[in-house]
Structure 1
Amino acid sequence: MATLSIYSPPPDTGLQIVFADASLIVVDKPAGLLSVPGRGADKQDCLALRVQREYPDALIVHRLDMSTSGLLLLARGELMQSQLSRLFRERQVDKRYIAVVAGLLAEETGEIDLPLICDWPNRPRQIVDFDQGKSSQTKFRRQSQDPQAGTTRVELEPITGRTHQLRVHMAALGHPILGDDLYGGSATAAAERLLLHAMDLAFIHPLTAVPMRFHRRPPF
């Protein structure tokens, strides 16, 4: 099993609430904070528990990697959790991320279609496996390039929602995300944090049928 570093969550300086009503909450999660409690007493501090201190009925709907920052959706109550989870299951939620990757990405747009599976001896790492992996697709759009630094800023749109999908797909493409301590290789030391941010979140409100669109600029 892969060795995990000591969990050191960012200080609790208050929630970055983007939106809240009687049904749901959208919050901007800081990098370095777990979405839900991990295993062990030292990994209980997480976004879900911080939100529940202010909204006791808040329940997690989806997760972001600990190292990823950005928009996270929580439901208020079990019924809304079920309805919002269904939207994710049926791919009725539009999610877009921004990342800075190593190298100059040649293609302006494209789609990565590589099946993923957990690398059990080295979990939580995921690997590409064409025999047993689960179907996984990510669309990408090149935003800008820095030839001097040898990096590309890219917008990522996950079609599926596999664990570490964006990180593995970009690494497999030969352009790992800067600061990625699992898949970055030499790009790991290129940034102090994982340069991956959940920038856009859009869905239809299950109760009001109003289109909901949220945007949070990346902090990098």
Structure 2
Amino acid sequence: MEDTQTPTPRDPRAFNAYRHGLTGQVMIMTSDDEAAYTAHCQGFHQSLAPEGAVEKSLAQSIADDQWRLARSAAIDLTRFAMGMAEPDHYFAHHPEIDAAFAQAVTWASEAKNLNLMSLYESRAQRRVERNMKILKDLQAERKAAFNQVVEDATLLAQFAASQGETYHVERDFPPEALPPQFGFSLPKIARLVTHNLHVAGAKTHLPAAGQSFRRAA
């Protein structure tokens, strides 16, 4: 029997409006959806490990499109569930067959909307793939540039040591020699240079140990 009761309007207090910390956009969601969305985005940023505004923006776009894909799947399942709750058009007096009939009727009656949803999903998936490639390319470029800077600083430190001098990366490495688009940290570079020097010293004084480690690996 069809429900003829007047629908109850949703309480607007059930929704929260908050400004996204990265995009600056105002988002309107329920409290539960906001918590799930926030955890979803944090997970993607942690996994993709973006650095800098451009990489973080790409990571956020990927997270948003993955959220849209998950929401699309949920809507698809919900629409078929709604079809199961509607009055039956075909009867076989068998629960599983009647359920299959109801799903077929829903698919036929919602074909246009389902096709639109499929198009929506395809576009979102293509954006994810495109942005993932751009992000990976940017990260590879950044890491290569960073490794080159660390290598240069390590060579300068080794040369200074050979001359009986001390090379302080944070003091002596010119900031203008750093790629400006990446915002590299001199303290981080200095720590890696120190690590490289320690490793080089260990290999010099313990060559046999180094060989045994390589064989074990």
TM-score, normalised with respect to structure 1? 0.21
Larger strand share, 1 or 2: 1
Structure number with larger C-alpha Rg: 2
Larger helix share, 1 or 2: 2
